[in-house]
Structure 1
Amino acid sequence: MAGIEFEIMEHIGKISEGKSGWKKELNLVSWNGNDPKFDIRDWSPDYTKMGKGLTLSAEDLKSLKNVLNEMDI
């Protein structure tokens, strides 16, 4: 993505992996030098390309965790 700087501060976990090697992951990412946030998105095997994703604050992630824990799956 042109003009966007990022640094993966912590690899938290792989959610899934496609046949092409791209991985959907939960990571802690700093975007454009800002404070890191939790991020769910697809990454190329060498982490130079990314898909669209979702960025969450710690409070958002806690709320999501509670919602998921309440699901009956």
Structure 2
Amino acid sequence: MAEIKFEITKTIGTISTSPKGWNKELNLISWSGNEPKYDLRDWARDHSKMGKGVTLTDQELKALKELLNTIE
């Protein structure tokens, strides 16, 4: 399997931490040298391993924010 190339260009924050020590984080990540996108996924403490996640463009993140603002 090919190695996944990524660079965390900005750490936004941690949403939660699992009992095993993995953090669910929102970061700005450049995948394979492309423009950075917002990314929400689980990470090992040292970022050596990652879980499945969701990657969002600026527009998609703004749309999600609007949806979340409707939740009480």
Question: CA shift at 1:20, angstroms?
Answer: 1.2
Alignment deviations for residues 1-27 of structure 1 (CA, whole Å, 9 cap, x no partner): 842100000110100001111000000
Where in structure 1 are there 5+ consecutive unaligned residues?
Answer: none
Q: TM-score, normalised by structure 2?
A: 0.95
Deviation string 1:15-66 (CA, Å, 9 cap, x unpaired) is 0001111000000000000000000000001101000000000000000000
TM-score norm. by structure 1 comes to 0.94
Partner residue in 1 for 2:14: 14
Moved over 4 A (4+): none
Report the Cα distance in structure 2 between the residues aligned to 1:36 and 1:45, rounded to whole angstroms.
21
Which letter does structure 2 place at the counterpart of 1:13? Answer: G
The equivalent of 1:28 in structure 2 is: 28
Gaps of 5+ in 2: none
Paired residue for 2:60? Answer: 60
